[in-house]
Amino acid sequence: MRIDVLTLFPDWFAGPLDASLLGRARSSGILDVRPHDLRRWATDRHRTVDDLPFGGGAGMLLKPEPFFAAVEALYGSVENRPRTVVLTPSGQRLTQRLVQALAGEPALLLLCGRYEGIDERVHAALATDEVSVGDYVLAGGEVAAAVVIEAVARLLPGVMGNDSSAHEESFADGLLEYPQYTRPAEFRGMSVPDILRSGDHGRVAAWRRDQAVERTRTGRPDLYRAWRERHGAPRSD
Ligand code: ADE
Predicted confidence (pLDDT) per residue in 168-206, tens digit: 556 768 999 999 999 999 999 999 999 999 999 999 999
Between the CA of 144 and the centroid of ligand 1 the distance, in Å, is 6
Averaged confidence pLDDT in the chain: 94
Give the tens place of pLDDT for each residue, 33-71.
Answer: 999 999 999 999 999 999 999 999 999 999 999 999 999
Lowest mean pLDDT among 85-99, 169-183, 206-220: 169-183
pLDDT of the residue at 78: 98
Is a pLDDT exceeding 80 seen at residue 166?
no
pLDDT of residue 115: 81
In 38-163, beta strands by DSSP E: 50-51, 61-62, 83-93, 107-112, 129-132
Point out the least confidently predicted range of 1-10, 14-23, 85-94: 14-23
- Give the residue whose CA is nearest to atom 5 of ligand 1: 89
Residues with Cβ within 8 Å of residue 46, at least 6 apart in sequence? none
The finding on whether 85 has its CB within 6 A of some atom of ligand 1 is no
- Rounded Cα distance, 153 and 30, in Å: 9
Residues of the chain with CATH 1.10.1270.20: 168-230
| CA-to-CA dists, residue 107 to 47, 126, 228, angstroms | 28, 15, 35
Mean pLDDT over residues 14-36, rounded? 94
Flag whether pLDDT at 72 surpasses 60. yes
pLDDT at res. 173? 82
| Integer Cα distance of 172 and 154 in angstroms | 13
Whole-angstrom distance, CA of residue 140 vs CA of residue 119: 14
Is the Cβ atom of 147 under 6 angstroms away from ligand 1?
Answer: no
Architecture of the 168-230 domain: Orthogonal Bundle (1.10)
**Which numeric CATH code is attached to 2-153?**
3.40.1280.10
Average pLDDT over residues 9-25: 93
Would the pLDDT of 164 be above 60? no
Choice from 61, 85, 88 to test ligand 1 binding pocket (greatest atom count within 8 A of CB): 88
Q: Which residue spans of the chain are classified as CATH 3.40.1280.10?
A: 2-153
Q: Residue with the nearest Cα to atom 7 of ligand 1?
A: 132
DSSP code of 195? G
- Residues 235, 232: Cα–Cα separation, whole Å: 9
pLDDT at residue number 110:
98
The larger pLDDT score, comparing residue 178 to residue 237, is at 178
21 CA distance to ligand 1 middle (Å): 23
CA dihedral sign, ordered 26, 27, 28, 34: positive
